[in-house]
Structure 1
Amino acid sequence: MISTFLRTALATALTVLPLTLAQPAHAAETLPLTVAVAQLPLADEVREGYNRNLYKHWNTGANPTDGCNTRAEVLLHEAVTAPTVGAGCRLTGGTWLSYYDGKEVQGPSGLDIDHMVPLAEAHDSGAHSWTAKRREAYANDLGAEASLVAVTAQQNRQKADQDPATWMPLDAQVHCRYTAEWTATKLRWGLTADPAERDQLLRLAAACPGQAVMYEPAPR
């Protein structure tokens, strides 16, 4: 027979245990593009106090001991033909496909790493209220392939900090993919969309039947 003391101890343990377990991570979601766009919170942009230096980017990447910063990690992951990795993670050779314009790029110097949702756009869409740690996590997000993408410098600089209401990739065949990845990134980080942006996203989504959006909320 279980003693009164043991029954009390077991009851206490069962009461306390759920409070000591780690909270489960948010599950990944897959949604139709039109549904995903509709889930974006609607708000006017707030351009107050933006400074690119607030978003510490190209930190030590996924492995702080290998000498490869975030930029190099993206290049290595997206290479069609792997580059040679030298001392200090210096990359030479290799080939990449810039999906924004469908161009093949020889060597890493012709590539920029684009933040799918530019830093200034993220700032305007809610990141202005984040901590420095969360801004750095956003600027170096290797947890979702859509967040950072290697593209030609020309396309990246033409895009600058524009949203889909004013800029889309040169290759029209990738507009559905781009719209889905833009939406996924905003959902992942809980960012808002302004009215003109969401209207354009809805128009783009209507032209992309069957396009899905896959995202996992960013860790807190």
Structure 2
Amino acid sequence: MPLREAVASLPVADEDRTGYDREESFGTWTDADRDGCNTRAEVLLDEALQAPEMTGRCTLTPGTGRWYSWYDDQYVTSPRDLDVDHMVPLAEAWDSGASAWPRERRVAYANDLADPRHLVAVTKRSNRQKSDRDPAEWMPDEAVHCRYTADWATAKLRYALSADPAEKRTLTELADGCPNAPLTYTPAP
């Protein structure tokens, strides 16, 4: 579906953060394939431009890898300087419909490696600036607004999450200034 149609199809609803507790609601990083690397490490390994050295059971050695943080156009050489960002932050997902899911589905959401747009390695600085904000409140560097808009809409559609009125308005305005490229995704289980 084209970007503008995808954004237009997002249902609008007011947000509700009642009962949200990050760890209680979504758990922590898991090691789904039991290879010793949790979700955070899997994303860092997958997105490395230069693979980092590892010791023990998936301890990434600082200064041995290289990553690109597309939110702020920065190259990073230490995994300690990176966060793994949920494209749609956990609190935003909660506010947008995840609060009604069983905890097992929320933990799966927090650790979803099936779509590479869902979790992204970015600088700690950019991730902390973003925090739990939606596109009406925070955006990455202007050069990547279209990519961010498309990835945000895809994540919301993949999990059938709603958008609040300001978020929907902002996404619509952003999409209107972007190529109307098709978005493809598989609905999450």
| TM-score bracket for the superposition, by shorter chain length | over 0.9
- Work out whether 1:83 is the aligned partner of 2:52: yes
Which is further off, 149-158 or 85-94? 85-94
**Structure 1 spans left out of the alignment, 5+ residues:** 1-30
Q: Is the 8 A contact 1:180 1:212 kept in 2?
A: no
Please, which of 156, 162, 167 is the counterpart of residue 186 of structure 1? 156
Instruction: After TM superposition, give the deviation of residue 209 of structure 1 in Å.
Output: 2.1
Aligned 1:16-165 pairs, distance under 5 A = 31-53=1-23, 54-61=25-32, 63-64=33-34, 66-92=35-61, 93-165=64-136
TM-score normalised to the size of structure 2?
0.96
CA distance in 2, matches of 1:198, 1:98: 26
The alignment's TM-score, normalised by the length of structure 1, stands at: 0.83
Q: 1:212, CA displacement in angstroms?
A: 2.9
CA distance in 2 between partners of 1:212 and 1:96 (Å): 27
Aligned twin of 1:176: 146
**Partner Cα separation in structure 2 for residue 103 and residue 211 of structure 1:** 26
Give the superposition deviation at 1:47: 1.3
Identity of aligned residues (%): 58
Counterpart CA distance in 2 for 1:42 and 1:172 is: 25
Alignment: residue pair count: 186
Of residues 196-205 and 80-89 in structure 1, the stretch that sits farther from structure 2 once superposed is 80-89
Q: Relative to structure 2, which stretch is displaced further, 107-116 or 205-214?
A: 205-214
Root-mean-square deviation (CA, aligned residues, Å) is: 0.8
Structure 2 SS opposite 1:197? helix
CA contact (8 A) 1:176 1:211 kept: no
For the Cα contact (< 8 Å) 1:126–1:192, is it kept in 2? yes
Aligned to 1:216: 186
Asked which structure has the greater CA Rg, the reply is 1
Q: Quick one: distance in 2 between partners of 1:104 and 1:211?
A: 27
Output the CA distance in 2 between the equivalents of 1:212 and 1:160: 28
Task: Confirm or deny: 8 A CA contact 1:95 1:106 kept in the other structure.
Answer: yes
Q: What runs of 5+ residues in structure 2 fail to find an aligned partner? A: none
Moved over 6 A (4+): none
Aligned-pair distance for 1:214? 2.0
